[in-house]
Amino acid sequence: MDISLLWLDASVDTNETINRGLKPGTPAWVLMDLPSPALVEATVLNISPVADSVSQTRRVRVEIKNSKEWPAGVPSRVRFTEPEPRFAQYKVLGAGVSVLPSAPEGVGM
C-alpha cells in the first residue's frame, strides 16, 4: 500500500467553503495527533459539489505529503487559514523533518 500521500476528508461548514472560496489547490494546515503532534501543510484536493442539509457541511478532501510514512487514519484537525505563531513549534516542513516536541495539555486548533 502506497502511503506517500495521505488524504483527510473533513466535514467543513458549507458557509466556510463558500466564504473562503475553497477549491482544488487551496492551502490547508493539518494538525496530526501523533505521539508528538505535527502541523503539516496540505492542499485541498476536492470539494463535494453537494452540501449535507442536516449538518450544513460539505466534504473537503485535503492531501498531505507523507515522506515520514506516518500511518493512515491518524486523528487530525484541518484548517484553511495559516495557524497563529504559537503553533510554529509543531510545524513539520514538507512533512520531511523530524516530529516536533509534544504539545502541552489542551493544545488544539
Q: Residue 84 is placed in which grid cell? A: 497563529
**Of residues 47 and 95, more confidently modeled:** 47
User: What average pLDDT does this structure show over 36-41?
Assistant: 91
Q: How far apart are CA 58 and CA 53, in angstroms?
A: 9
DSSP 8-state class, residue 85: G
Tens digit of each residue's pLDDT (9 = 90 or more) over 18-28: 999 999 999 99
What pLDDT score does 103 carry?
Answer: 41
Q: Where are the domains of the chain?
A: 5-85
Name the pTM for this structure.
Answer: 0.79
Confidence at 16, pLDDT banded by 50, 70, 90? very high
Is residue 108 pLDDT above 70, yes or no? no
- CATH number of the domain at 5-85, please? 2.40.30.170
What secondary structure letter does DSSP report for 52?
B
